[in-house]
Amino acid sequence: MKKENNWNLPNLKLAQMRTKDKVKVEKTFAIPENMMNIGAGRKFYLRTYGCQANERDGESIAGILEQLEFTQVQTPQEADLIIFNTCAVRKNAEDKVIGELGHLKKLKLINPDLMFALCGCMAQEEDVVDLIIKKHRHIDLIFGTHNIHRLPELLYNAMMNKERTIEVFSKEGDVIENLPVKRFGTHKAWVNIMYGCDKFCTYCIVPYTRGKERSRELEDIMQEIHVLIAEGFKEITLLGQNVNAYGKDLGLENGFADLMESVAKCDIPRIRFTTSHPYDFTKEMVDVIAKYDNIMPFMHLPVQSGDSDMLKIMGRRYSVEQYKELFDYINEKIKNCSFSTDIIVGFPNESKEQFQRTLDLVDYCKFDNAFTFIYSPREGTPAAKMEDNVPFEEKQERLQRLMAKTNVHASAKNLAWQGKVVKVLVDGMSKKNKEIYSGYTEQNKLVNFTATDVKVGDIVEVKINEAKTWTLDGEKI
């Protein structure tokens, strides 16, 4: 039954290539007539792992499936189609996906028509697809990050021809403009401003799984934002692996600063952006953020390490001094700015002294929040070939020490909000107590507060009564 020759398998060597070829912008998405209702009477369950880019892709996948007349359900047990939209950034996240897929396999015994699909960044990896082909025969469909728009055809093939279908393109990537979208949020939305990444940090798989850095045209971004505003959205997060490089590939000089300014002039109360790369973060960008009240005073500014030699080996393109200079400039210009960061411990051959410098940097910056990871080798990346003299137990111990320190700063930062009045965008009500709501402050702090007369999507003033390590408690005033 299977036609293995039709498969398009991932290729990391091809995925790594970058040319100067102009990016193609495709606006031709349409569902072929004979596929229009292949989902009628069928239900799909979608689980997304990883970053916001993947979340946003999930919204397009759901949008396409609903146009095919599938209905979304909230548990795999109810579904006729189970889709895992996956992340490849660290091995432990991948192991979880593989484990879960194995665990759900038995549902096929109850529903023989049940189909499994895997997409997202893991689908772009040679070793993962190889493993699935050999050991997880219940996965019916694999598609990658570059061909979400091909989902109708691929599903049709898998469903109608009862054929295992694998199509993954390892290419630099196009920009696909008019995919359907089912927004999962009611008042907060993601907007891609660029795709891919050209930084090639030596540990990171993203440039291979997502292709080359390619920015959307300003008009296309603004059009999406105008629709969101008309639909009543209150917060927009501009997305890219490296938003500060927005527009470089389009030949724009001040791309991200100008884009933020255009968005800030729209009638939208809250604008956020992620992820920032310190290398491309210019003073002009900081000045624009400082100038507009609706650009939120919160930076996710990954540092990765507090040692300049290590940063060089990681391919990060900035020194600790340059990072601190940017950090200080942001702090000086943007009042009450909060910061989060990403840090990797146990990169190959990280010395005790280098790790100590990371701890010192954490003490210098006193981040509001830090995402800390043990280095995970990713096949195909330069770091994966490096010899490593740091035992895993040592890495675990470093992670514990780092987390103990980042927690102390997070608590202290939260404590400073005690007694203050903050603006909170209401996300929802507590399941247990109808008088307790939650939402985020401008600085991206999660607040649980008491109130009686608020709606999801309102922006309300809350007095903070108690600070905990990760949340603030308060009451609406």
Write out the residues near ligand SAH by the rule CB under 6 A: 89-90, 203-204, 206, 241-242, 275, 277, 302, 304, 342, 344, 373, 375-376, 378
Name the maximum alpha-carbon separation found in the chain: 68
CA distance 101 to 117: 10
CA distance 429 to 442: 19
Burial 368-389 (b: 16+ CB within 10 A, else e): bbbebbbbbebebbebeeeebe
123 binds, among ligand F3S, ligand SAH, ligand SF4, none (CB under 5 to 8 A by kind): none
Residue 259 and residue 188: Cα distance in Å, rounded?
A: 19
Q: Closest separation between CB of residue 390 and ligand F3S, Å?
A: 24
Which CB sits closer to ligand SF4, 206 or 228?
206
Closer of 164 and 199 to ligand F3S (Cβ): 199
Picked from ligand SF4, ligand SAH, ligand F3S, none, the partner binding residue 375 (CB below 5 to 8 A depending on kind) is ligand SAH
Among 204, 218, 451, 472, binds ligand SF4 (CB under 6 A): 204
C-alpha distances out from residue 206 to 63, 296, 381, 447, Å: 24, 27, 10, 32
From the CB of 380, what's the least distance to ligand F3S, in Å? 13
Paired with 450 in beta bridges are 436, 475
Run of H or E residues at 283 = helix 283-291
Round to whole Å and give the CA distance between 72 and 69: 10
CB of 205 to ligand F3S, least distance (A): 6
Tell me whether residue 56 or residue 445 sits nearer to ligand F3S (CB atom).
Answer: 56
- Per partner kind, with CB cut-offs from 5 to 8 A, the member of ligand SAH, ligand SF4, ligand F3S, none near residue 90 is ligand SAH
Burial class of residue 34 in the structure, from the number of CB atoms within 10 Å of its CB (0-12 exposed, 13-18 middle, 19+ buried): exposed
Q: Which does 247 bind (CB under 5 to 8 A by kind): ligand F3S, ligand SAH, ligand SF4, none?
A: none
| Token code pair at residue 117 | 């699909």
Size of the site for ligand F3S (CB under 6 A): 13
Please say which residue, 89 or 263, places its beta carbon nearer to ligand F3S.
Answer: 89
* DSSP states of 18-43: ---PPPPEE------GGGTTTTTT-E
The 207-236 contact track toward ligand F3S, x by CB under 6 A, reads --xx--------------------------
Q: Stretches 84-92, 161-169, 279-287, 368-376: which one binds ligand F3S (CB under 6 A)?
A: 84-92
Burial of 391 (0-12, 13-18, 19+ CB in 10 A): exposed
Q: What is the DSSP letter of 295?
A: B
> Cis link prior to 469 (omega < 30° from 0)?
no
Does residue 89 touch ligand F3S according to CB under 6 A?
yes
Angle in degrees, CA 56, 58, 63, rounded to 5 = 100
Binding to ligand F3S (CB under 6 A): which residues in 276-305?
none
* 241 lies in the site for ligand SF4, by CB under 6 A: yes
Residue 207 site contact among ligand F3S, ligand SF4, ligand SAH, none (CB < 5 to 8 Å, cut-off depends on kind): ligand SF4
When binding is defined by CB under 6 A, the residue of 23, 51, 129, 191 that contacts ligand F3S is: 51
Query: Interaction with ligand F3S in 104-143: which residues (CB under 6 A)?
Result: 120-121
| Minimum distance from residue 435 beta carbon to ligand SAH (Å) | 37
State the binding partner of 53 from ligand SAH, ligand SF4, ligand F3S, none, CB within 5 to 8 A by kind: ligand F3S
**Does 199 interact with ligand SF4 (rule: CB under 6 A)?**
yes
Q: For the sheet with 369-374, list strands across it.
A: 298-300, 338-345, 369-374
124 binds ligand SF4 (CB under 6 A): no
Near ligand SF4 by CB under 6 A, which window of 114-122, 162-170, 196-204, 440-448?
Answer: 196-204
User: Are 159 and 141 a contacting pair, CB within 8 Å?
Assistant: no
Q: Return the bridge partners of 474, or none.
A: 449, 464
Q: Smaller CB distance to ligand SF4: residue 88 or 268? A: 88
User: Of these, 81, 82, 87, 158, which contacts ligand F3S (CB under 6 A)?
Assistant: 87
CB-based contacts of 43, cutoff 8 Å, min separation 6: 70, 71, 72, 73, 78, 79, 80, 81
Beta bridge partners of 235: 188, 270
SS3 label, residue 124: helix
* CB nearer ligand F3S, residue 202 or residue 441: 202
Closest CA to 192 of 241, 155, 144: 241
List the single partner that 438 binds among ligand SF4, ligand F3S, ligand SAH, none, CB under 5 to 8 Å by kind.
none
Partner from ligand SF4, ligand F3S, ligand SAH, none contacting 354, C-beta within 5 to 8 A by type? none
Q: How many CA atoms lie within 13 A of 456 on its CB side?
A: 10
Taking CB under 6 A as the rule, does residue 193 contact ligand F3S?
no
C-beta of 275 vs 354, nearer to ligand SF4: 275
197: closest CA among 400, 21, 409, 15? 15
Residues of this chain that bind ligand SF4 (CB under 6 A): 197, 199-201, 204, 206-207, 241-242, 277
Chain residues binding ligand F3S by CB under 6 A are 50-51, 53-54, 87-89, 120-121, 205-206, 209-210
